Structure 1
Amino acid sequence: MSASELAHHLCLTEPKLSFHPDRRSDRDIHPLSGLLRFGPYSKGLLVPDPIRVATIAPAGEGGRLYAFMKELNSFYKPSERKDYLPEWPGFQRVFNVRMTGAGGDCHFELDAGLEARLKESPTPHVVLADAITRAAQRLHARRSAFDVLFIYLPERWSMGFVGGLNEDFDLHDHIKAVSASRGVPVQIVREDKALAYADRASVMWRIGLALYAKAGGIPWKLADTDPETAFIGISYSVRPVESGEPRFVTCCSQVFDADGSGLEFIAYNTHEFEVQRDNPFLSRTEMFRVMTRAMDLYRRRHAGRIPRRVMVHKTTEFKPQEVDGCMEAFNLCEAVDLVQVVEDVGWRGVLVNGPFNDRPAQAAMFPVPRGTVLGIAPAEALVWTHGSVKKISDKGSYFQGSRSTPRPLRIIRHAGHGPWDDTAWAILALTKMDWNNDALYDPLPVTLAYAKVLSRVVKRISRLGSRPYQFRFFM
């Protein structure tokens, strides 16, 4: 395809975030600056004060983890990402609630013999997972005395973080599956990524945001969205054949409402599907079931009403039977958009300035602006969710990561019509709704980013209940 055959591109404005349920003035495009200026969206709502933290640590190292928790109440200046990351003034200053250690009986140290058993065992991941699971079970008896559990993992235990060759095991996902089944939000504290990481401001922002959200807080929501639109992300996880469990699990990520808020999701085992290129595709009946349950979840949160418009995102194409199942489930909605979002594309884009007067055109100093949309076919477009952003840094345009040529997402509409503005803007806005990350945005919309997390963890839960799950237990 030549340049002359491409449609004119669009440049969408950077989506704003809201930090108050009523005051329209409390808005900012920068999530962290917005928190410092206005406080969190759920300030004054039902968030525990103080947030009580329980701990699990190696033998003799509980004090090191407690010292790390005390750092959250300290002041730090950033030493990296200075054009984006603000100073960390302390947890209470940011979130307007206190953070403290739970009562003395909520702090557990693993036995001293664990170290030797890990080194001697041919399956150290089994030994470590069993030790942490038993400790977590003991703390569960004191569940009413704490709000979030911190688990400290030193780097010397890294041999137990993953399984052996051809073993589908990840300690992080195993811990999340066990704790989520018991309704306990967990923050895993890695030595290399938290305790020993050089930029303390960066660590405090990441852990502080995660702690507040896992305790039930809402840092921010989207501003300027259609109040009658719902967003659904659907993903599939695959269990190992050796597990003896149903091969595929359908994970429907949070059903997000218009402001990006979605704190629950549904997941259940699929029975009617076909596999193509290692990807499952649902029958009409199965897709109808999962989308109907998604709508039930939306109605339960919105006083029984249905959305006027529904946008469904997934990373594989929508087969005709899946389209039919969605349309049947959403038959009362005025508009339905079924959008495939493809990450791995060969396209690139370079921003060129000029020509100006007698000067020839030349490549700009910054990459393509984030929010650039380029139609490449009647039902396909490229959306740059990664790129330069203005009004973030005093230095001019801000480019997250500061390296490489940003790659766009390719979006393919399998149902729906009209211009790309609304579809692309929704994807752009939803890249800013990950409360487990201190970055300006993620490459993927949260509908799919969360679905990826859920699909990894949910397949490790042996019994999937019919009730909705709260995502804060899986973060």
Structure 2
Amino acid sequence: MKLEHIAEPRLQFANGDHVCPRRGIAAFGAFDRSMGTRRSDVILGGVGSATCNEALSRWVTKCSAEIPGDPDANQPNLRIGFPGVNLGHGFDAVLKFSADLARTIKKSEIDEIVAIADRWDRVTKAIDLYYEHIKFLAQNRPVDVIVCVIPDALFKAVATNTRGAGEETLDASVEVTSELNFRRALKARAMHLGKPLQLMRAGSLESNKRGQQDDATKAWNFCTAVYYKAGPRVPWKLEADEHRPTSCAVGIAFYRSRDRQVLNTSLAQIFDELGNGLILRGTPIDMSRDDRVPHLTANQAYDLLTAALNEYRVALRAYPARIVVHKSSNFSPDEIDGLTRAARDLRIDTVDLVTVMDSKLRLFRDGLYPPYRGTRVEIDESRHILYTRGSVWYYQTYTGLYIPQPLELRIVRSEESPSFIAKEILGLTKMNWNNTQFDGKYPVTLGCARKVGEIMKYLEDGDTPQIRYGFYM
């Protein structure tokens, strides 16, 4: 058994690099500041009650100026100040929101929905109400992102957390209840309009509210998310090795229809070297009675990867020299055959196949804190344990609430070393623009699968899904 610690992958920004997205943007600027086609305006639309829209306006104004952090003497890097969204530094952008970009929902309309006894009808009416205003803004105002603020009374009436408390887990197939979910169904309903949504609870716009994140942390996460969604924008990218050939990462996942009448449908998520996510829906698949884990046929694997790589080629005007495919369950012989044939036919030199799953093993170290993020243990040549959550040297603490569960990496085939594969996965955990705290658990290739699958469930067969990841965040 071999053990090593992988150094925290560095991120590239406009004028420098750093391990932390917040420090990097504040000191060196968002990566895409140097792109000639980039627009500096981020125009927000707003949908909510009059009180909600006023609160959103105040919040956007607050985010345009510096917000002091809430530093701890023992963890000075965990909660740093927010530099403000304005020209000349940081994001080098301007958030724009005004009365003519807002649509007001009447209090009487909210009261009427809250009073509906049947939950399905209640959620359906709320979706219809918000969709009407989203559609107007998307079709009649030059907005980049539409922020939907949910009044607390309505939130309590329509929101349901279908996931129990506890540590995040990685499933072979996205399974959620058939219950109508307001957030997911609204995003699916409005997807064809071509404007990403940002949903917020009204209470989260209150300043330094007890039980919430401090204002600086909220500003970091909100502004980074809408900046990315307003895309194509690149807040940061993984530091590139100029001596290595171009590479892209692909995640393959599955989701089941809400009524469970349709078996699992395949889903491909491909991320280029800038971290831009492209989402593709595959075809329904059958499952063997003897194996309840979904698998692709050889032809389905071939078609799915070919379609994903063709989207990559359209975006970057060339195929990558290498691809790495991540899957949260073991690769079947048919899947291996289909994926390798697709890569060979597209003249891609290198194909690496890696299963990424939650591990049942745990490591312990002296003291009160768990192993360091980046700890890799080699069980044998093809099986490895990787801690992506754990004590973080940069933060000088462990930020989680539970004993962290490491990942198990099963390297099916690879031209790269296990250390390189693990470092690559560690780096991909930092490519989540919904959260600027960089110690995420899963690589974005698989970590976004649940979000995408949960929204895809609400699309009809004839609907065309958006391919940009920003529509599913």
Deviations 1:340-374 (A, max 9, x none): 1112x2211122xxxxxxxxxxx145432211111
Residues in 2 aligned to 1:64 and 1:14: alpha-carbon distance in whole angstroms:
38
- The answer to whether the Cα contact below 8 Å between 1:234 and 1:314 also exists between their aligned partners in 2 is yes
The question of 1:342 aligning with 2:357 is answered: yes
Pairs within 5 Å for 1:354-393: 363-364=366-367, 366-390=369-393, 392-393=394-395
Q: Which moved more, 1:465-474 or 1:373-382?
A: 465-474
- The answer to whether the Cα contact below 8 Å between 1:268 and 1:464 also exists between their aligned partners in 2 is no
CA 1:467–1:454: 2 relative to 1, 3 Å: closer
Q: CA deviation at 1:32?
A: 0.5
- The answer to whether the Cα contact below 8 Å between 2:388 and 2:442 also exists between their aligned partners in 1 is yes
Q: 2:192 aligns with which of 178, 181, 194?
A: 181
Q: 1:30 aligns with which of 20, 24, 28?
A: 20
> Kindly, what percent of the aligned residue pairs are identical?
22
Q: CA deviation at 1:424?
A: 0.7
CA 1:161–1:241: 2 relative to 1, 3 Å: same
Higher strand share: 1
SS at match of 2:32: coil
Q: Aligned pairs, how many?
A: 441
Q: CA deviation at 1:463?
A: 4.0
Deviations 1:52-77 (A, max 9, x none): 11110125542122222222123322
Residue 340 of structure 2 aligns with which residue?
A: 327
SS at match of 2:2: coil
CA 1:78–1:252: 2 relative to 1, 3 Å: same
- The answer to whether the Cα contact below 8 Å between 1:153 and 1:189 also exists between their aligned partners in 2 is yes
Q: CA deviation at 1:138?
A: 2.1
Pairs within 5 Å for 1:182-201: 182-195=193-206, 196=209, 197=212, 199-201=214-216
Residue 107 of structure 1 aligns with which residue?
A: 102
Deviations 1:212-259 (A, max 9, x none): 1111121100003444222101111111237x7x44332211x223x3
- The answer to whether the Cα contact below 8 Å between 1:17 and 1:221 also exists between their aligned partners in 2 is yes
Residue 205 of structure 1 aligns with which residue?
A: 220
Q: CA deviation at 1:194?
A: 4.1
Q: Which moved more, 1:159-168 or 1:211-220?
A: 159-168
Residues in 1 aligned to 2:186 and 2:452: alpha-carbon distance in whole angstroms:
13
Long gaps (5+) in structure 2: 163-175
Residue 171 of structure 2 aligns with which residue?
A: none
The question of 1:239 aligning with 2:265 is answered: no
Q: 1:41 aligns with which of 31, 41, 64?
A: 31
CA 1:229–1:60: 2 relative to 1, 3 Å: closer
Residues in 1 aligned to 2:289 and 2:352: alpha-carbon distance in whole angstroms:
24
Q: 2:83 aligns with which of 89, 92, 95?
A: 89
- The answer to whether the Cα contact below 8 Å between 1:273 and 1:283 also exists between their aligned partners in 2 is no
Long gaps (5+) in structure 1: 1-6, 352-362
Residues in 2 aligned to 1:154 and 1:312: alpha-carbon distance in whole angstroms:
42
Residues in 2 aligned to 1:126 and 1:141: alpha-carbon distance in whole angstroms:
22
Residues in 2 aligned to 1:32 and 1:39: alpha-carbon distance in whole angstroms:
10
CA 1:299–1:109: 2 relative to 1, 3 Å: same
CA 1:27–1:61: 2 relative to 1, 3 Å: closer
The question of 1:317 aligning with 2:320 is answered: no
The question of 1:284 aligning with 2:298 is answered: yes
Q: Which moved more, 1:365-374 or 1:445-454?
A: 365-374
Superposition RMSD in Å: 2.5
CA 1:411–1:166: 2 relative to 1, 3 Å: closer
The structure with the largest alpha-carbon Rg is 1
